[in-house]
Amino acid sequence: MPNYRAHALTGMSTAFVANLGMQYACLPVLPDGSRDLSKLDFVEAFLAIGVGLVGASLPDLLEPASSPNHRKFFHSSLLAGGTTGGVVKYCMAGKTENLNVKDIISDPGSRLLLAGQAAYYSHILLDARTPKGVPLLGLKLC
Ligand SMILES: [Zn+2]
């Protein structure tokens, strides 16, 4: 079972790489086909590490690993997918129609939010690889 350290390191590195990747995708392409890497904002990328720590810690903060069956709603794959859709929808809010991915990740706030979501997702994926797995929904319906 992944422990706090594994979740934290995976989440922080996921958010860092995701943020840098999104920043890179937004850099203008120079006439020679390259991108001006000096425009990468490493302050934003390091902020993403903090956001990643929070995102990767959330599932176990909300449902502490106090028993082998602690994974419920906040560890569910449907919540992870649903919140990803919600985060993307939030990042699209107020932007023009005919959006492309660059429009969605064009501002630092959206990139940090998506990096945090990627970290949250990394937690669910790590837990999904264990014998207990993660629930589809995690709610008792009756
Ligand atoms: Zn967990």
Q: What is the pTM of this model?
A: 0.88
* CA 101 to ligand 1 centroid distance, Å: 30
Q: How many Cα neighbours within 13 Å face the side chain of 7?
A: 25
Domain holding 72, by residue range, is 4-128
Query: Which residues lie closer than 8 Å to 37 by C-beta, 6 or more apart?
Result: 24, 27
* CA 124 to ligand 1 centroid distance, Å: 7
Give the separation between CA 135 and CA 63, rounded to whole angstroms: 13
Indicate whether 123 belongs to any domain.
yes
* CA 77 to ligand 1 centroid distance, Å: 12
Indicate whether 95 belongs to any domain.
yes
Indicate whether 23 belongs to any domain.
yes
Q: In the structure encoding, which two tokens stand for residue 62, read together? A: 């909300």
* CA 24 to ligand 1 centroid distance, Å: 31
Indicate whether 25 belongs to any domain.
yes
Tens-digit pLDDT profile for residues 42-88: 999 999 999 999 999 999 999 998 887 888 899 998 898 889 899 98
Indicate whether 141 belongs to any domain.
no
* CA 20 to ligand 1 centroid distance, Å: 26
Indicate whether 66 belongs to any domain.
yes
Number of domains making up the chain: 1
Indicate whether 142 belongs to any domain.
no
Tens-digit pLDDT profile for residues 88-139: 888 888 777 777 888 889 899 999 999 999 999 999 999 999 888 888 876 6
